[in-house]
Amino acid sequence: MSQWQQLCEQYMQLQLRERRLIFFAALTMLLWVGIISVLEPLWRSLQTSNQQQKMTLGQMAQLQQQVDAVLQVLNSDPNEQVRSQISERQQQREQLNRQIKQLTGRYVSPEQMLPLLQDVLKSSPGVKLTQLRSLKPEVLQIGAATPTSAPTSTPAPAAQTNTAPAAVAPQLYLHKTEIIFSGQYAQLQQLLQQLERLPWQLHWHQLEYKVSKHPQAELRLELETISEQAEYLRI
């Protein structure tokens, strides 16, 4: 007797209720195996499709970022930084101009110098102007420690760069005027007091007093003033 026949006889010897339980259990197992064999390939295919979809979406996001970066470069203005630098330089120049106007406004201008000396002489009887000489002006370098002589030739052009040109500071000149007065001591002292009371600033770079023939004496003054003009006095 084969093993299958033995199993069949054992199955038939069972009660009806037990045979039904075994039958439905076997049927359920067969159905489960059938469902698994059909759905598992579909589930794996779905998982593969989802992974491919995620990879595709990631690649599309990277491409979109690259497109956005290219569009940003194309839409940006390459001269914006240069214009910003030029605007900043112009503001710096305007600020320097205001400061220079305030500074030079306190000094005697070229147009005021000769009339000023004439008025001082008129109010100083006995004092004579024996010499008036304008010395070579010196260029004041803003931010530099010492002035330099005024240029006599045109400077070489600056090399071209890709950045905005630096703001050119307005030129200032230090003018020195040598003046020699003659008169008596009290008269010359009164002259100095009048110069000190002037509303403008006159710096005395040098002051020399020399008795030429008593009671006559000579007073040599070297005055300093600042102007934006290279030529100060025409004598």
Taking only the tens place, the pLDDT of each residue in 113-141 is 778 888 888 888 889 989 888 888 888 76
Q: What are the residues whose beta carbons fall under 8 Å from the beta carbon of 182, sequence distance 6 or more? A: 127, 128, 130, 212, 216, 217, 218, 219
Which has the closest alpha carbon to 140: 228, 14, 37, 78?
A: 228
Better-scored residue on pLDDT, 143 or 93: 93
* Cβ–Cβ under 8 Å, residues 132 and 177: yes
**Strand pairing category for 203-213 and 138-140:** unpaired
pLDDT of residue 98: 75
Residue 183: per-residue pLDDT:
92
pLDDT for the residue numbered 181: 92
Residue 35 has pLDDT above 80, yes or no: no
Cβ neighbours of residue 34 closer than 8 Å, sequence gap 6 or more:
none
pTM value > 0.85: no
pLDDT digits (tens, 9 = 90+) for 158-206: 444 445 555 555 678 888 888 899 999 999 988 888 888 877 667 777 8
pLDDT, average across residues 79-97: 79
